[in-house]
Structure 1
Amino acid sequence: PEDYSGYVDREKLLAEENLPKAVLFGVLACIAGAVAWALISISTGYQMGYMAIGVGFLVGFAMRQGKGIRPIFGIIGAALALISCVMGDFFSIVGLVAKEYEVSFMDVLFDASYSEVMSVVIENMASMTIVFYGIALYEGYKLSFSAQKAPEGGKI
């Protein structure tokens, strides 16, 4: 009903959307998630596929800052979550190699054969990690939308 205090029409929600802000926050969360994944993996010495779940949450909630209700927000959130997972995996492998051979991270990053590192990333994805990547994609999509309060029994 129109007089319900929580009633918000679709046009007002669309007017409040801010895709550039959502993308900015999403990209920052994507980078932060990848770095956190790498730091945790390097410090523990283990590649942890379930880090993808946290990355998906992080990116999804960051994208929510744009107050989006259109599918593009979820699509970008899912893509950024996947990119963050792959980057986190990539940086973890580089860091673990650097730690193993006692060289700097930057030396390995700039001198490594990227095809070999990516083959290890793909090998990781072929294991159970792909399940966690899928969860991250889902979270990146689903959590990217603005939280809305709908009137009871009604739809926005």
Structure 2
Amino acid sequence: MSQSVPPPGNPFAQGAGPGQLPQTPLPPAPPAARSHVGLGLVAALVAALVAGGVYGAIAGGIEREIGWAAVGVGFLVGFAAGKAGGSNPALPVVSAVFSLGAVYLGQLVALAIIAGKELHVSASDVFFEHFDGLTQVWKDELDPLTFLFFALAAFAAFSGAKKASV
């Protein structure tokens, strides 16, 4: 019976002879950080317009504002910006600003719906033909809760963009 003798050197080296390093594959490179600022801005703007309109429709339908809905508006705007735009540091800030606009738009839409019900006209007529009166009513109705909703939406947008870009 003959026994096979292992070659001299490291028996665990795959194909490496004496004095050579083993040939092991390198790990794949980590993915590059993506940053599509333009796409993130467009996504945030579209999300702000849609979320603001839905927020206004809900608030106008039930004739009151809901704090968690303002948080949802902000988070949706930030999430859209972060997912589409990546980790650019400007996107959370822009998302916060867009969410302020979205909540303002939603409050105006809600007022237009409520005024349209009372005046027996369409909300779009109130919104587009009497915008100056609508903004004056909004100013007259300002209270600390309104500013709290703005702050909640901006915070949710900023943190949503940060979390979504990871």
Q: TM-score, normalised by structure 2?
A: 0.73
- From the superposition, tell whether residues 113 and 39 of structure 1 become closer, same or farther in structure 2 (CA, over 3 Å): closer
1:8-37 C-alpha deviation (Å, 9 max, x unpaired): 58xx21xx2101111111111101111111
1:139 aligns to what?
156
1:34–1:55 CA contact under 8 A, matched in 2: yes
2:71 aligns to what?
53
Higher fraction of helix: 1
RMSD over aligned Cα atoms: 2.4
2:76–2:160 CA contact under 8 A, matched in 1: no
Between the two proteins, what is the percent identity of the paired residues?
21
Moved >4 Å (runs of 4+): none
Matched residue pairs, number?
Answer: 140
The answer to whether residue 138 in structure 2 is matched with residue 121 in structure 1 is: yes
1:50–1:129 CA contact under 8 A, matched in 2: no
1:35 aligns to what?
53
Give the 5 Å matches for 1:9-20.
Answer: 12-13=32-33, 16-20=34-38
1:42–1:96 CA contact under 8 A, matched in 2: yes
List runs of 5+ in structure 2 lacking aligned partners.
1-25
2:97 to 79, 85, 109: 79
- From the superposition, tell whether residues 105 and 66 of structure 1 become closer, same or farther in structure 2 (CA, over 3 Å): same
Q: Secondary structure at the match of 1:144?
A: helix
Q: TM-score, normalised by structure 1?
A: 0.77
List runs of 5+ in structure 1 lacking aligned partners.
149-156
Larger C-alpha radius of gyration, 1 or 2? Answer: 2
The answer to which structure, 1 or 2, has the higher relative contact order (CA under 8 A, 6+ apart) is 1
**1:60 positional shift:** 1.0
2:15 aligns to what?
none
Q: Structure 2: how far apart are the matches of 1:55 and 1:43?
A: 17
The answer to whether residue 138 in structure 2 is matched with residue 93 in structure 1 is: no
